[in-house]
Structure 1
Amino acid sequence: MGLEGLVACDSPHERPDGKKLKDHIQGGRIEEGILQAAEELSLARKMIQWKPRAP
């Protein structure tokens, strides 16, 4: 199952800005990032069940 109209990134692990990530972690906000990622994953799973379609 793929997403239509979106280009897949072949190397997502190379995309994050290392300095931004390091600053984010040192700022004590890594927990916020983890929670946000968990919420986005939950939404993605729901979207698969809902099977939304573009008009």
Structure 2
Amino acid sequence: MAFTSYKAERHPETNELSALQKAEWYLQGRENVYYISFTSCSLFLELLPQIKDIVASLKEL
């Protein structure tokens, strides 16, 4: 998993500066490589553990 931070953006409701966080996964399947990206502001970073669990549970059909 790669985890990166981007330049500060203005929050649409509060107009405060907030940095975007981006988590990326590359998953190797049987015949394909899958790319999953999750980007959020600091308000939704509490969802990151749930997103990690979902990504870890993915299976190729």
TM-score (norm: length of structure 1): 0.33
Structure 1 or 2: more strand by fraction: 2
Larger Rg: 1
Select the structure with the greater relative contact order (CA < 8 A; seq sep ≥ 6): 2
TM-score (norm: length of structure 2): 0.32
